[in-house]
Chain A
Amino acid sequence: MGEFGTALLTHGFLQAALLAGLLASVGCGIAGTYVVVKRIGFLAGGIAHAVLGGMGAALYFGVDPMRGALVAALAAALVVGWITLRFREHEDTLISAFWAVGMAIGVLFIARTPGYAVDLMSYLFGNILLVPREDLWLMAGLDAVLLLTVAVLRRPLLAVAFDEEFARLRGLPVTLLYLLLLCLVALTVVLLIRVVGLILVIALLTLPAAIAAQHATTLGRIMVLAVVLGSLFTTGGLALSYGPDLPAGATMILLAGVAYLVSTVLQRWLQRRRTHVPATTGGGT
């Protein structure tokens, strides 16, 4: 680990990687909290994986793939949103289909693109050590948009995350707000691509917020804690993977997963101690 510390001070690419991880944490803390409390993890997964289609197309046509990712993510958010609004009963199957077809389109485009296939791997699994300066600016910009939107529209977004029926009765534009929420998730997905790759985006999106929700009591505090945890996982994962030269993204997710397990066990143990009930469920009155 000391090796990482000294390397950090001398290598610019590591500093960029660290910064990328921190910028990504802001996104996963904020959007991830909505995903966890509104239980739309599956929808977020559909958006994340379908993005590959857009990235592949962008690559094939010679456009910057991150820009393709941005467009594809927003389009995917609107499609997934429309599916859940119109086809509620079949949303499971439809989102799965959309998810898989999106990926397939991406793979096909990439296969037909002359050049190195290593790009496919880096989009799927992240390549935080190779993150270019322009991407850092893009990520900072996405964070700014996310923070601004949530700060200004925090009450309506909360109402839609909490109780859509009541929000509709209060005259809020529920459909628009719901789609906006999905678009915020889409922006966060783009934020996380470089760090952990499309395959693992969902884990970094949901695990920090899920852990935070076990310990923090209100929405605002969950978001802050989720950002802190995200930062710990990205930084920790980077540090741990550097020495043994392991994939950074996967290490971050492993760290997050273990933390979630420990947190869940700890929470159960604390609850049991607090209420002094035996481990087996007994009958109440």
Chain B
Amino acid sequence: MSSGTVIELRGVSFAYGAVPVLEHVDLAVPPGEFLGIVGPNAGGKSTLLKLILGLLEPTAGTIRVLGRGARAASREIGYVPQYPAFARDFPLTVEQVVLTGRLGRGRLLGGYRAEDREMARWVMTQTEIADLAQRRIATLSGGQLQRVLVARALACEPQILILDEPTANIDLRVESDIFDLLRALNRHMTILVVSHDVAFISAYVQRVACVNRTLLCHATEAIDGQVIHDLYGGDVRRVAHAH
């Protein structure tokens, strides 16, 4: 195990039954990196995340996260899924949802402690949802709920933050807000972002991992038309983002 990487995949393959999804993936993420993960639909991006989170076991290869197995390390990861895995009308307030990010630390029994509530308030302030704290999640817009998911992931004080298409369901105006927040958070944690928008995230990330059954990393400056063509199997209309 080489120290100096927070996430290390060696020769990782994964198949759903007989259908191969990922083959011979190698990836080494150093601490503090802001890594973008791009690729076509059904190319294995989400599967890659689930392997890193320990929700899936690879059919071949090894995965080390923070020097441990993926399942053991999942507590140190803040995960923001693309879609909430819960019912939208579940009777909880924003604060209660964010507090669930504090689970797994300390006691299993009884109520939340003062420090849990303080951390929840702090991350809600960071994600600019403090004024929504007592709102029921059923009354939130898509963008607001996305921020709640980010806050929940941050509440566990993670060493690694993983986001799956954080901007897929919100409008462009808000997109740069989220990425500006991530840039600020990157000062104290490693961040992985899966995104369909290559051109946009390349303005923020240091490296881009292109996943389409295999994985190829490129420094952001090296992303050009040929790379995108190879990745997506065709010319993709590029939208120029002025920053």
Interface residues of A (CB under 8 A from B): 37, 39, 152-156, 158-159, 162-172, 213, 216-219, 222
A222 CA to B93 CA in the complex, in Å?
Answer: 13
Q: Are A218 and B86 touching (Cβ within 8 A)?
A: no
Q: Are A163 and B91 touching (Cβ within 8 A)?
A: no
Q: Are A169 and B75 touching (Cβ within 8 A)?
A: yes
Interface size on B, residues (CB 8 A): 30
Q: Are B96 and A165 touching (Cβ within 8 A)?
A: no
Q: Besides the contacts A163-B85, A217-B136, what 17 more A-B pairs have beta carbons closer than 8 Å?
A: A37-B91, A39-B87, A153-B109, A155-B100, A162-B86, A164-B85, A165-B81, A166-B86, A166-B152, A169-B77, A170-B75, A170-B103, A170-B156, A213-B91, A217-B91, A218-B96, A219-B91
A163 CA to B90 CA in the complex, in Å?
Answer: 10
Q: Mark B16-33 against chain A: 1 for CB-CB distance below 8 A, else 0.
A: 000000000000000000
Pick the contact of B100: A37, A152, A166 (CB < 8 A).
Answer: A166
- Closest Cβ of chain B to A156, distance in Å, is 6
Instruction: Point out the residues of chain B lying under 8 angstroms from A219, CB to CB.
Output: 91-92
Instruction: Point out the residues of chain A lying under 8 angstroms from B81, CB to CB.
Output: 165
- Closest Cβ of chain B to A160, distance in Å, is 10
Query: Does any Cβ of A come within 8 Å of B234's Cβ?
Result: no
- Closest Cβ of chain A to B140, distance in Å, is 14
B73-109 with Cβ < 8 A to chain A: 74-75, 77, 79, 81, 84-87, 90-93, 96-97, 100-101, 103-104, 108-109
A165 CA to B80 CA in the complex, in Å?
Answer: 11
- Tell me whether chain A's interface is mostly helix, strand or loop, or mixed: helix
A165 CA to B100 CA in the complex, in Å?
Answer: 12
- Closest Cβ of chain B to A190, distance in Å, is 25
B91-132 with Cβ < 8 A to chain A: 91-93, 96-97, 100-101, 103-104, 108-112
A156 CA to B111 CA in the complex, in Å?
Answer: 10
Q: Are B110 and A152 touching (Cβ within 8 A)?
A: yes
Instruction: Point out the residues of chain A lying under 8 angstroms from B53, CB to CB.
Output: 169
A165 CA to B55 CA in the complex, in Å?
Answer: 8
A162 CA to B87 CA in the complex, in Å?
Answer: 8
A-B contact pairs, 13 of them (CB 8 A): A37-B87, A155-B100, A159-B103, A163-B86, A166-B79, A166-B85, A169-B79, A170-B74, A170-B101, A172-B104, A217-B136, A218-B136, A219-B91
Chain B's closest residue to A216 (CB) is B91
- Closest Cβ of chain B to A246, distance in Å, is 35
A104 CA to B100 CA in the complex, in Å?
Answer: 43
Q: Are A162 and B103 touching (Cβ within 8 A)?
A: no
